[in-house]
Amino acid sequence: MFRRVGRLDDSLDVVSTGAGDSGGGRVMMDLGRLDLLQITLIVRDLAAVERAFESVLGLRVAYRDPSVDLWGLENIVLPMGTTFIEVLSPRRDDTAGGRHLERQGGDAGYMVILQTRDLAPWREWIGALGLRIAFEAETRDPDKGQDWSGIHLHPSDTGGMMISLDRPDPPESWAGAGPRWRDFICQDVVDGLVGIELRSPDPTRLSSRWGEVLGRSVDDRGRIALDRGTIGFRETLAGEIEGLSAIELRATNRERVGGRVDLAGVEFRLV
């Protein structure tokens, strides 16, 4: 059973605010393991993007989640082993998703989902930073392997794009991909998420903010290392606004390493 725990205001938008200063003297907590689990994109033409993902990357749809209709959206979820790509599309224009598309000038990144083993220390850390929780929900159906809880951080407090912290139990399950997602895994071209890259007019400030929010250091290349996956940052080019610029996928055919393709408003890099 899917249950909304917190309230989500439909006026919520993913915006660039230059939010957040670095944490100064704040003592970091032990927040536990943190893995890149899913990247969520939002597009105008869901059917066309679905066909493109299958033809270019060999990915198949495992699930269409009826619960996203709460926000006037429809979606598809594409599994790659134990990491996932979700693609959303607005059913109507008067939604946060539709406004995000307009602001980004077309198809774009929307949210990154990071997996944790325990949300309790994260709640304490979020409170210490003064971050707002935009939405939280849980699914309780252990018989179907769908025991999950998650928190969406308010994007105006983080910058870049929306961050969701999720705790699936057991850790290898993922309710967001439906009960039979393993049956739809296709790894002919790629077999998992490796990293993402965000763009910003001030990537140093954004990387510092994300490092603070995630309780992770930023290395000398301006990247944040997770236990599984990395988050990179670059400066916006002329005409660009803050958001997701690239997704790195692990190529199963090593001869394809270095390949790049643009899908759903994002550059996909095979590594």
Question: Do residues 44 and 105 make contact, with C-beta atoms less than 8 angstroms apart?
Answer: no
Return the beta strands (E) in 30-180 as ranges: 34-42, 73-80, 83-90, 108-116, 133-141, 146-153, 162-169
- What is the rounded distance in angstroms from the CA atom of residue 15 to the CA atom of residue 156? 6
pLDDT bin (cut points 50, 70, 90) of residue 145 is: low
Q: How many CB atoms lie within 10 A of CB 271?
A: 13
C-alpha 159/C-alpha 127 separation (Å) is 17
Domain assignments of the chain as residue spans, ordered by start = 30-270
Going by C-alpha positions, the residue among 190, 171, 176 that lies closest to residue 139 is 176
**Res. 21 pLDDT band, cuts 50 70 90:** very low
Helix (H) / strand (E) containing 56 = helix 46-57
Residues 217 and 201: their CA atoms lie apart, in Å, by 21
The answer to whether 159 touches 242, Cβ cutoff 8 Å, is: yes
**pLDDT value for 79:** 99
* Structure confidence by residue, pLDDT tens digits, 117-139: 999 999 999 999 999 999 998 87
CATH topology (fold) of 30-270: 2,3-Dihydroxybiphenyl 1,2-Dioxygenase; domain 1 (3.10.180)
Report the pLDDT value the prediction gives residue 7, as an integer from 0 to 100: 44
Q: Tens of pLDDT along 178-234?
A: 999 999 999 999 999 999 999 999 999 999 999 999 999 999 999 999 999 999 999
Kindly report the pTM of this predicted structure: 0.90
pLDDT category of residue 29 using cuts at 50, 70 and 90 = confident
Q: Look at residue 5 and tell me whether its pLDDT is greater than 80.
A: no
> Does residue 170 have a cis bond before it (omega within 30 degrees)?
yes
